[in-house]
Structures are given as structure tokens and as C-alpha cells.
Structure 1
Amino acid sequence: MAFACQRDSYAKELVTTVKSCTSAKIDGKLDGYEVILGDTVLFPEGGGQPDDRGTIDEVFVERVIRRGGEAVHYTTKPLEVGKEVKLKVDWKRRFDHMQQHTGQHLVTALADNKYGFKTVSWCLGPQKSFIELDCTKMSQQQIDDLEVVVNECIRAQTPVTPHVLQVGSPELEEVRSRGLPDDHVGPVRVIEIQGIDSNMCCGTHLSNLSHLQSIKLLHTENKRGHVLLYFVAGQRVLDYLNRTVNNERNLSKLLSCGPEDHVECVERLQKAQKSSAKVTRSYLREIAQLIVYNHLHNESRDPVACIHRDDGDMEFMNSVANELAPQGIVCLITVGPEKGAGQFLLAGSEDIISSLGPKVAEILDGKGGGRKGRYQGKANGLRGREKAEALIREAMENKTVE
């Protein structure tokens, strides 16, 4: 059967009766009830479109799914069987879904008509959606040209009409489709965009492309040998523009320049940052050399070297370990905020490091691994350095006694 939401996607309310109400788990976690009604304006998920939200006599509907020819509403409160109830749909959510879904049909049809790119799947996301196209590449020029044609169809106020056809009907042979669900019962619903597309679909749709307002094609990604074409439609175009304008305004304040100079300013900052990083690495190499020199030329050469630098990096740790470890010195080198998270490197003779590595990682609340006299990883608790050093010194003393 076609539900009220499918017969009239613009219906916001409906009075109907409760056919059944049974105990159930909502998403396998929340205790609730499965409610089946005489009809519904709340769309059950399907065709790539998420389900609606709304109320039944002010009782919130947590989910709606289709089971055969029935729509199953999940609530946390029971409803009296046989009682007449009033449904209300969350119209903001519904209309957004209608805009994205009809927009998907339009982009899918025109991508096929214009380039022969078939749609394999699509996803209606919380902020933007994508269409998975059966092609390996889509140029920016193709995206721009497609966007122009899409919005021309919107400005032409093209009608969108649902049709109900019987299974086996000759008209169905001309309809674009990926097949019916295994549990489908009854007639088949087809959405026609006049002069552009006819597609088998159970979802809720706009009655005219003009209700889309506009569509913006955003960008593409490659996945599984296909192209994911991201887009926003309707109100989401304005939402996307508002977020972009706010980001632009904030960047103008941070960069102290107008939007037209953002790219040039960021390029200068990146260049300066690379130059600073180069100088910093040079300083760290010199500091590492100095640490090594002082340790090796100390009259009472310490068999343990525990070294920490907030601004150090992996190159710094390796520079120190490469010089001290071959001299029989056990090194614990850490970098990062003194009492925060960072990295560690334990280096020395293989027999000691293989035993101490996991213990040091545990003390530093981290994870790591290694071989051949090296054990390194990430640490969440660098404040445990003193405890780690004590463990290393104790191990070295025990070895000396042996």
C-alpha cells in the first residue's frame, strides 16, 4: 500500500487509529513499543531516505521502519489499541529530506543523460549528501556544466509527479530502477520528473523542482573505483553558504585581511612556518649533539640518560639515541608537553630494552613496540618519567650485581 505520506508528501498531520501496540526494543537497546497504525504521515526509512520523526498524540516517535506492507512506529510509551490518534510530522526534517531526495533524483538523471554516468548508490547525510557514480573520474568542467543544467531545470519549474503502477505493467519497463525489495507487496510507486526522469522510488518528494530553490555540487571523492559526487539542495545551500560566510569572517579577523587576500596570506604564513620549522630542526640537531657531547665527556659517565624536551621530535630522539646507545648507555628520551601526551624512545642493549620497553610504556600510559634495542611509541602520561627512570636504574643496578 501507499502510505498517506507517499500519497501526499506535503501532509503534516493525520488522524487514524491504533491497530496494534507490542513491547519491543528500540535499536536493540531502548525499551519501547512497536505501534502499527491504520495509516501514517511518518515516512519509514527506504530508498536511501532516512525515516521521519514526529508524534502520535504527543508521544514522540523514535523510529519508523517498513515491515512488508506496514509502517512500524517505535515509541517509549504504549498506545491504546483501537484508539483514534493524531499524528504530526517533524516538518523541518521531512521537507529537508524531500529536497535532498528530489535533488538526488534530478542530479542522478542528468548525470546519466549528459555523461552516461549511472548512479550506483546515494547517501543522505546530516549536512551534505553524495551520489556514487559508476565512473572513475569526473572533471571540474563536467561538474560545473552539470550544475548549470540542474539549476536550469529548477528555474523551469518542472513538475514532479508520483504514479502508482501494478507489478508487470508495461510502463514499468521504461522506468529506471535497481529492483524491488524482497518483501515488497502491492503496487509499485514511480516518481516522474517531467521530461527528465521516471524512477521507481518509495520516498517522499517535492511536487515541483522549483521547491528545490537551488542545488550546489560541492566536490568529488574516489572510492571503490567510483566517484562520490557531494551536493547540497534547498535550504542546505543557504546553510552551507552561512557557514562559509562565518568562516570567511573569522578568517578575515585572524588574518587581518579581506577574503580576496586569504589565499595569498595563508601561503605567506605556510612559507614562514616551513622556514621556522627548518630553523627549529637545525637547532634541535645542535642541541642533541650538545647533549650527547656533555654526557659522553662527563667524568662519571651515567649509564642511564633520561632526556626530555617539550619541543623535541622523532629526529631529536633518534639523534641522541643513535650516539649514546652504542656506548652502552640506556636512553629514555621523551618529547611533548611535560605533563601531557607525547612520544617516547627507549634505546640500549637488546636484552634490557626488550624487557623494559613494555613496562616503561605502561608507566607512561602509552603503547609502543620495537626490536633490536629500540622501543618507541606514544605516551599519554609523560609525568611518569621519574618513575620510569627509577625502573630503568633499578634494572641496570641488578644487571651490574649479577
Structure 2
Amino acid sequence: MAFYCQRDCYATELLTEVVSCHPAQLKVENEGKKSTVSGFNILLKDTVLFPEGGGQPDDRGFIHEVPVLRVTRQGPDAVHFVPSPFEPGAGVLVKVDWNRRFDHMQQHSGQHLVTAFADSLYGFKTTSWELGRQRSVIELDTPLVTVQQAEAIEKTVNQKIREHVPVNVRLITVDNPEFNKVRSHGLPDDHAGPVRIIDIEGVDANMCCGTHVRNLSDLQMIKILGTEKGKKNKTNLIFLSGQRVLKYVSQSYYTEKTLTSLLKNGPEEHIEAVDKLQKSVKALQKNNLNLLRDFAILTAETFKSKVDRGKFFSLHRKEGNNEFMNIIANEIKTEDTLLFLTVGDEKTSGLFLLAGPPGIVKKFGPRVCEILDGKGAGKCGRFQGKANKMRQRAEVEILLQEVISNVKRTQE
């Protein structure tokens, strides 16, 4: 049986009844961090919230005022994960997040339309697709889609949108002769009952469980952004549909205005101006690197010229890198001098190098790393790595000065 959201994709709410409620957990990801949320799996008599399927993500919405965090299909049922429980038998009002739903409808119907004409115009078969958060991707079974071919597909699909072509939903049985004629990637193993057909009148008929517009005019427009190399000799076609096109244009215009202000020239000159800036930056970086190398040599020579230079040298420089520290170590010759060099922020993170007699470096390198809360490794009289607590640099200096003092006393 089709869910209410599939029978009427434009419905935004539904009065229904709770069938069951069981404790459950949901794995979520927020800003790259994964966690587990405790809640309840709710089964309803019917639902206006679409469970994920057919390449389309699930809906979001509310049961009364309780947010629905995930909707999944389990066999013939749609399971709603919510943070609060509901009593079985209770009547509830289910509402859908319409903006998310309509966006998914536009992208999904747009995919059907692009797929149909990629096939009919050039024989490019769709092997998969992804409805992304910002843009969608159709994987085509061809090693190449030319710019001219992509433009022809875009022109044709937008012509169909302007023609207000109806999109109809039909149910057929698996023994219907039409079943073997419609486009499909196969049915789920647990499928039962009639098969749902999305029929773009005169264009395409395809088995699909997703939510779709009822007329191509609701797509507004489709923009093919371009292509990229896919897996196994295939091509990914990147596209936007409906409101995403308008949002993309707005963002592009804002970017254009910002660049015009920053670069002090018109949009037609942006690329040339940025190219010049990049070349200037590369030249400055090269000059800075040469100056840094010269400064490293000068620093080493200054230390070596001191009569009372001692056996320990410590230096921190905010602007620097691993090469800067290693040049100093190479110039000073660390067979009998212990060097502790750091670059980066004085209080937070940076890089460090401990160089000197191999025995001392091997013994105290890990301890220096531990004090600086860093990670590193060493060999042949050098131990270097990244530090996360550069503010503890003074503690390392005290430790190493004691080490040098002990060595001096032993030699005496």
C-alpha cells in the first residue's frame, strides 16, 4: 500500500493514529561529529512523511509538536524516530517540513526528466543518482558527455517544463504487460503489492517510490552545471532544479558583487585580476622563503660567532617552518650543541625541532613532545613534530638546560 505522502505528494499534514511506540536509538552526525540519540520508533496507521527510498532522502516534520528526526522504511511500514513517546491508539496530527519536501520533489522529478532525455537523445543510461543537499548528480553509463550534449539536454528539458507536461502516478501489478516496459532498477527484495509508476506524459514512465511534482511546470527550470569523471568509465552529470537554481543565481550574484568591490573592476575582468594576484602572491611567497632561509643562516652564524655561546641554543619564531629550523640545525652543527627550535603561535600550536647529540635527543625527544602535547618522531640526532601547547615551551627549556648542566658536570 502506498503511503499518504505518495498518494498526495502535495499534502502537508494528516490526522492519523499511533499503532506502536518502542524505545530506540538513532545515530546522527552534526558538524562531522557522530553521536547516538535516544528516543522512540513510532509506527502510524498512515503518514504524510516520506521514508527514504529511490535515491530520495526522508522527510522531516512533526507529530503534534514533537520533531521527527528520521523516517525509514521497514518492509511495508514507515518508522518515525522521535525524542518523545506516544501512546498507541492516540490520534495525532502529522505535519511535513514543506520546504524540504518540495525541494526533494523538484530534484527527483528533475532527475527523471534529465535521465529520460539523456537516454532518448544520446543513449546515455542512468546507473545511479544522488540527491545532494546543494546539488544533485546523475551517473551516466558513458565515458564522456560533451558540452554540446549537456547543453542540448538542458535546452530540451526546459522546453518540456514550459510546455506544462503533466506528471501522473499509476499503480500496476507485476503481472501487467506494462511492467516489463517501464524503466526500472528493480524492486526491493521485500516489495509486496502493486508497483508505482511515475509517468511524465509522452516522455518517460519509470517505477519509483518517491514524491514528485504533478506537472513539469512546478520544476520551474533545470540548470546543468557541468560534468565530471565518474567511476568505472562513467560520467557524473551535475544539475540543479527549481528553487535551487534561483538560490544558485543569488549566491553567484552576491559573489560577483563582492569580487567587484574587492578587485575594483568589472565582472568580465575578475578572472584576469585573480590570475595576476595569484602570480603576485607566488612571487612574494618565493621572496619570503628566500628571506627566511637567509635569516636562518644569519641566526646560526650569529650564534656560532659568540665566544660564550655555550652548548644550548633555544629560539622561537612565529613566522617559520620546518625548513627554517633544519637550516639552523645544519649550519650550527649539532654534534656537541643541543638545539631547541620552535615556530608558530607562542601559546597554542606550532612546530618544534630538538637537535643535538643523538643519545640526548633519543632520550629526551619523546619527553619534549609530551610536555608540548605534540606528536613527533626522530632519528639521527633530530626529533621533530607538531606541538599543541606551545605555551609550555619554557618548561622544555628548563628541562634541557638541566640536561646540558648534568652533561657538563659529568665531563668535568
Work out whether the TM-score is over 0.5.
Answer: yes
Contact 1:34–1:74 (8 Å) recurs in 2? yes
State the 4+ residue runs in structure 1 displaced beyond 4 angstroms.
Answer: none
Q: Deviations over 1:183-239 (max 9, x none)?
A: 212111121223332222100001122111112222444454343332221111111
Q: Percent identity?
A: 51
1:334 and 2:354 correspond: no
In the other structure, the counterpart of 2:16 is 16
Matched, 1:315 2:328: no
C-alpha distance in 1 between matches for 2:117 and 2:378: 55
Q: Please state how far the C-alpha of 1:323 moved relative to its aligned partner.
A: 1.8
Counterpart of 2:32 in structure 1 is: none
Is 1:285 the counterpart of 2:274? The answer is no
Report what 1:197 is aligned to.
Answer: 204
- Residue 241 (structure 2) aligned to one of 233, 240, 265: 233
Give the deviation of 1:382 after TM superposition.
2.2
**C-alpha separation between the residues in 1 aligned to 2:143 and 2:404?**
59
Match of 2:221 among 214, 218, 235: 214
* Aligned residues of 2:334 and 2:355 also touching (Cα < 8 A): no
Tell me if 1:295 matches 2:329.
no
CA contact (8 A) 2:335 2:357 kept: no
Q: Which residue of 2 aligns with 1:350?
A: 358
Unaligned runs of 5+ in 1: none
C-alpha contact (below 8 Å) 2:314/2:340 kept by paired residues: yes
TM-score (norm 1): 0.91
Contact conserved, 1:325 with 1:349, CA < 8 A, in 2? no
Counterpart for residue 266 of structure 1: 274
Conserved 8 A contact 2:353-2:383: yes
Whether the 8 Å CA contact 2:350–2:390 is kept in 1: the answer is yes
Q: What pairs up with 1:25-64 in 2 under 5 angstroms?
A: 25-27=25-27, 29-64=36-71
Does residue 381 of structure 1 match 2:393?
no
- Going from structure 1 to structure 2, the CA distance change for 1:256 and 1:337 (only over 3 Å counts) comes to farther
Q: What's 1:3 paired with? A: 3
Deviates more, 1:157-166 or 1:94-103: 157-166
User: How far did residue 27 of structure 1 move?
Assistant: 4.1
CA distance in 1, matches of 2:101, 2:301: 70
Q: CA 1:199–1:328 in 2, change beyond 3 Å: closer, same or farther?
A: farther
TM-aligned CA distance change 1:78 to 1:289, over 3 Å = closer
Kept after mapping to 1: 8 A contact 2:340/2:354: yes
Query: After superposition, what is the alpha-carbon deviation per residue over 1:97-154, rounded to whole angstroms, capped at 9, x for unaligned?
Result: 1011111222223233334333332222222222233344444444333322332222
Matched residues in 1 for 2:343 and 2:382: separation?
16
Whole-Å Cα distance in 1 between the matches of residues 147 and 314 of structure 2? 54
C-alpha displacement of 1:291: 1.1
Decide whether aligned partners of structure 1 residues 149 and 303 sit closer, same or farther in structure 2, where only a CA change above 3 A counts: farther
Q: What is the root-mean-square deviation in Å for CA atoms of aligned residues?
A: 2.3
Going from structure 1 to structure 2, the CA distance change for 1:374 and 1:137 (only over 3 Å counts) comes to: farther
- Unaligned 5+ residue runs, structure 2? 29-35
Q: Which moved more, 1:276-285 or 1:150-159?
A: 150-159
CA distance in 1, matches of 2:340, 2:346: 14
- CA distance in 2 between counterparts of 1:286 and 1:184 reads 72
Distance 1:364 1:112, change over 3 A: farther
Structure 1 pair 338–25 and aligned structure 2 pair: CA distance change class (3 A): closer
